[in-house]
Structures are given as C-alpha cells and as structure tokens.
Structure 1
C-alpha cells in the first residue's frame, strides 16, 4: 500500500492539468452558447432605447458573462471530472494506479486539490467581479438600458409602503439623513381606492419627512393636475426604509452584504434570507470541491464491462441532485422554513457524506 496521500508529482500534475483543461473548456463552450441564447431574447430590449447600438450590446455581454460563469462553473467542474475520470479509466490508467497500491481517495486527491484552487478563484471572482457586474446590470435594466447612473452604489427602483400610501423612488444616493431621492412617485390611497398621484424630481430629508421639488399632483377624483415648487411628503418614513428596502445579495460583495445585514439588524428588520445568501457565498464556490467526489463513480470499474457510460450517468445524476437540493434549500431559507446556516450548508454536507458513502461502499 502506498502511504503517500498523493500519487507521484508527475502523475498529480498530469491529472490536475487534464481536469482543469477539460473543466474550463466545457465552461467556455457553455458560456458561448448560453450567452448567444440570452442575447436573442435581450438584444431587442437593449436596442429599443433610442441611441443604443452595437457598443451597448457588447456592454451587456461584458456584464452578463460573469453571471453565467459564476452559475455554471460548478456544473462545468462536474462534467470535467466525469470526462477526465472516464478517459483515465478507459485508458486503464486508473487500473495502473490501483495496481501500484493507490486507494480510490489517493487517485482522486489531485482532482480535489485542483478543485480547491477552482473554489478559491471562484470566490474571488464572485466577490470582486460578479457582484459588481450584477449590481451594474440590475441598475441598467431598471432604467430600460438607458443612461446609467454614475454612482454604482446607488439604490434604484425602490418601493416603500407607508400606511395605505405607496412610494416609488427611481434612484437613491447616500445614506441616513444625507440620502437624496430622485424620480419620486407617491401613490396616495384611501383604503383600496387611488386618491392622487404625486411626482417630483428630487427629494431630501427635512424633519420627520422629505422635502421634494418640482411637484406635480394629479387628483384622480377631479381629473386635474396641479404643480408646486416643493412639498413635504412621507412624514414618518425613515431613510433606512429607502436605503435598506431592496438589498440585492447577488449584487453585493461578501463584506458589503455583511455590513448591510448589520444595518438591517440594527434597524430591527428581518435578515434571515440575506444571512442564508451570505453563507451561500462561501458554500457556493466550495461546491466545486464536491464534484470530483460525486463524479468519482465514473473512475472505477472495468471499462470493458460496458458499464462505464452507466457510471458516468450516475455521476451526473449525483451532481444534478446536488444542484437541485442546493436551490431547494436556498428557497426554503428565503421563505424562513430553514435556518440560514442550514439552508446554505446542508446540501453541501449531505452530498459530501453521500459521495463518501458511494466511494467507500463501491471501491474502498
């Protein structure tokens, strides 16, 4: 029995290189196809805005590609694992390693180590690039692919309810009493009936309300529009109701999301769904480490027995089952049915045990 956890240095580099090349080749192919399909449905909306052209389409591609990469990287690692291990099995290289005294875990060790590197790169990529691209793309969509606000940290398209009234703000800059509103629409209601619609260009904090400028008010009953230089509206609406009402977990980095959760908690607002998303920013990239274990069933067994394809299908089924369980747990966490930590980590831990059980039961 070989007591070293890894195969020889040459064999480890060979396997890791084969695994990474195949995984990223599959990822590139998936991104190319999915981005082309996505453009078919979205390019019409982009070009519908007057003045948009080819540069805006390429801008959309540059913002959308990081989201596709982040979503399908674990899936690509799964397929890369299955193709790599199936090739090694078909060429009798796995049999040679086991004949040299290597266990199934030792055969998988180079792939698992390489997957840890992929997970680290994935976390950094999601935190530094995907979160910013998502936030920018969401803000761009909110203005129907028109001119994008310069401050990428602004909140856009925020809705706040105060009693029976509804307030929509197109853009919010700043925090606390320094918050500035732009594009305000106030829907004044009496029970279930609309009384009036007030629109204003700008708004700033004044006392316990908001001073808005360039006011236009439409009286539903009279059918008349009145104007005023300014008005004081939304008494009792706090600034955090605007700035914290639409925290997009996907559009924030790990540190920024953690700060937003602290602010919401200090304001007495519910944070369970966001806490689950925060934990998932760690468990999501680590799912790449699971893929060699779940796809390992394709590595073992005699290729000449004709069951190599069946083993590859079983590996894919295990990987797909993990993605389904992960999305289900996140949905349950958002609904409050699962605690945040359980929603983010339960599928990972469950399929880690399943993968180990299958590997030990069949090969060790």
Structure 2
C-alpha cells in the first residue's frame, strides 16, 4: 500500500528533506525581516512609557514572533513548494522520476505528507502558543504598552438583553450565584424597542431566577412618575453566566475557550456568526498548508527547455496567493453574515482543493 501511494523510501526522504529545509529557511527570513520592521515601528511607543526598557522590547518580540510564524507559515510552504520544484524540474529530476514510472501524485505525495504534518503542528502551535500571546499583545497595545493590571475578574459597563428588555451594570464582580452587580439599570421595553420603564438599583444579587435590586428607583415613561421601594426582582431570564461574558476575542482564545464564549453569548441573544466563522477557521486555516504543494505543483511538470518554467512558477504562485485572497474575503463575508460560518471557513479550502487537483491532472499530461 505504501509503495502504491509513495515513491521509494530514498526519494520520499529526499523530497521531504528538501521541502522542510526550504520551509524553515523561508519562514525564518520572513519572520526576521517582518519582526525587525515591526519592532522599529513600535519601539518608540514602548520606550516612551516610563520604566520600559530593553526587557519590554524583548517581551514584545516574544509575544509577536509566534503570531508572525502562524500567519506566514502557509506562505512559506507555498514559496518552498516553488523553490523545491523549480530546481527539480530545471535539473530534469522530475523527468527522471517520471521515466522511472512515478506518477505526478506519487512525486507530490512526500510533500503532501510533510505539509499534513506541518498543518498538525501549526494547529497545535496556534492553540497552545499563539492564542494566549495574541490576547496579551492586543491588551498591551491597547494600553499603549503600559503595565497591565492583574485580572481581578471585575467587568465594567456590561449590557445584557433580557428578552425585549435590557439590564446594565456599571460593575460586575464575582462568579456564579455569588455574582454582584453595582450601578444597575433595567429597561422595560415594548416589542418595538421603546422604553416603557426605567428601574435603577444601587446593587443587585442573583435571586435565581432574576436579580434582586436594592434601593430601587422606578421611573414610568408614560406618566413621568418616579417612585422608590426597598427592593425588586427583575431580569428573570438573565443568568450569571451571561453577565460573565464580555467581548470575546477569537484570536486570543483557543478552540475550547472560544466555544464556551460562543455558547454563553448565544444564551445572551448576542450575534455570534463572526465568532463561529473564526472558530471553524481555526481548523481550516492550518490545513491551508496541505493545499500549497498541490497549487504550486504546476511548476514541477512540463519541459524546462520549453521556456514555460517561469510562467508555470508564476502561475503556481498566483494560485496560492489567490487562495489567501479568497479565504480572507470569505471570512469577512462570514463575519457580517453574508455567508454561513461553516461555508465561510471551509468553502475556499474545498474550492482550491478541487482547483489544485484539476491543475495537477491537466499538467500531468
């Protein structure tokens, strides 16, 4: 079975070694150049904060380099495919393999296997390394590179739908049944969204169901009459889990954390199509490395002396970069609801898988 899918062990190891060394070399150069440019761009903002110095610059590098590796790994695989196949074709090694009875798919199999392993490594690297550092770097940059405060679990300015109504709190602290709200306002609205009554409370605790407000002030919009009472239970549909979810950062959460955020935001009647598309893309994105040998293989076949080798290499590069453009466009469409999240994440991959296989079959002849 192995012999039917792959060439000999020697050729398999030879092609895989060429492919891996070129991927590592190209990725190293891309990350080195881009990180240097970004560090030059951001170093002024980092160092102008009192107390920041060389340690903070290296801290920025440690947070940013994993993101650059994850972002440009597929591009490196594409360029490595072209830089592997170009000399193989130029030196007639592909012709020798074909003359030995190997099909185009057998020649490509070692690189596809290598790309599959890279996809698996990329997915693991993204979830364990990139996601937490991406979230930290985003928070640090939003704080203009000032020291980040420790996470106390306190959330501010929280708004949650309660059916047609809305409950808001200036401060939310605690978790579960021990959740406490300060500066609470509950808006009772009609089906058209018009506010009928405004209820304010100094604080609130979970009444299971609902939230018990203390020191309540009620204002009826229709009669403009304001009344007070010691306590009142409102928002029976709102749970502590819904209040615990703020704005979810898809890039800064792994698949398990993001899935929990999506579930909680669904329970809060919030729009989650953007998060769902990015959740699916966490699986589809790393698999793009498998497409690159397939799309770039057009540079491997055809006679080098025919003068079309450069054109074939450019065509392979164009196919690869077109995939990235279509993938980003589909993800953007999924973010605002133009496509269902599943289609937005997977359609470009499946489409270019068919395109690459078609091109490979055509160029094999």
Which bin holds the TM-score, normalised by the shorter protein? 0.7 to 0.9
Aligned to 1:302: 303
RMSD between superposed Cα atoms in Å: 3.1
**Does the CA contact (< 8 Å) of 1:155 and 1:243 recur in 2?**
no
The one-character-per-residue Cα deviations of 1:145-172 (angstroms, maximum 9, x if unpaired) are: 2222344x96888774899999887xx7
Aligned to 2:30: 30
Query: Aligned equivalents of 2:173 and 2:169: distance in 1?
Result: 16
The one-character-per-residue Cα deviations of 1:154-195 (angstroms, maximum 9, x if unpaired) are: 6888774899999887xx77544555899x9x9xxxxxxxxx
- Cα 1:174–1:302 change in 2 (3 A) is farther
Which residues in structure 2 correspond to 1:50-129 (within 5 Å)? 50-129=50-129
**Residue 334 (structure 2) pairs with residue 333 (structure 1):** yes
**Does the CA contact (< 8 Å) of 2:333 and 2:339 recur in 1?**
yes
Query: Aligned equivalents of 2:42 and 2:143: distance in 1?
Result: 14
- Cα 1:238–1:46 change in 2 (3 A) is farther
Query: Aligned equivalents of 2:290 and 2:178: distance in 1?
Result: 45
Query: Aligned equivalents of 1:37 and 1:3: distance in 2?
Result: 47
Structure 1 segments of 4 or more deviating over 6 A? 155-159, 161-169, 235-238
- Cα 1:298–1:175 change in 2 (3 A) is farther
**Does the CA contact (< 8 Å) of 1:160 and 1:241 recur in 2?**
no
Shift of 1:24: 1.3
Query: Aligned equivalents of 1:156 and 1:92: distance in 2?
Result: 64
Aligned to 2:136: 136
Shift of 1:244: 2.2
- Cα 1:136–1:89 change in 2 (3 A) is same
Query: Aligned equivalents of 2:105 and 2:49: distance in 1?
Result: 56
- Cα 1:74–1:53 change in 2 (3 A) is same
Which residues in structure 2 correspond to 1:161-200 (within 5 Å)? 175-176=175-176, 178=178
- Cα 1:358–1:259 change in 2 (3 A) is same
Query: Aligned equivalents of 1:132 and 1:363: distance in 2?
Result: 44
Query: Aligned equivalents of 1:74 and 1:117: distance in 2?
Result: 13
Unmatched runs of 5 consecutive residues or more in structure 1: 187-202, 212-231
**Does the CA contact (< 8 Å) of 2:154 and 2:174 recur in 1?**
no
Aligned to 2:290: 289
Query: Aligned equivalents of 2:12 and 2:173: distance in 1?
Result: 52
Aligned to 1:272: 273
Query: Aligned equivalents of 1:87 and 1:298: distance in 2?
Result: 10
Aligned-partner SS, 2:124: helix
- Cα 1:155–1:118 change in 2 (3 A) is farther
| Count of residue correspondences | 320
Query: Aligned equivalents of 1:165 and 1:206: distance in 2?
Result: 13
**Residue 358 (structure 2) pairs with residue 357 (structure 1):** yes
Shift of 1:334: 0.3
Structure showing greater radius of gyration is: 2
Query: Aligned equivalents of 1:27 and 1:304: distance in 2?
Result: 31
Deviates more, 1:330-339 or 1:130-139: 130-139
Deviates more, 1:266-275 or 1:239-248: 239-248
**Does the CA contact (< 8 Å) of 1:155 and 1:246 recur in 2?**
no
- Cα 1:175–1:249 change in 2 (3 A) is farther
Aligned-partner SS, 1:49: coil
Aligned to 2:43: 43
Unmatched runs of 5 consecutive residues or more in structure 2: 186-201, 215-230
Query: Aligned equivalents of 1:8 and 1:344: distance in 2?
Result: 36
- Cα 1:104–1:63 change in 2 (3 A) is same
Aligned-partner SS, 2:5: coil
**Does the CA contact (< 8 Å) of 1:295 and 1:316 recur in 2?**
yes
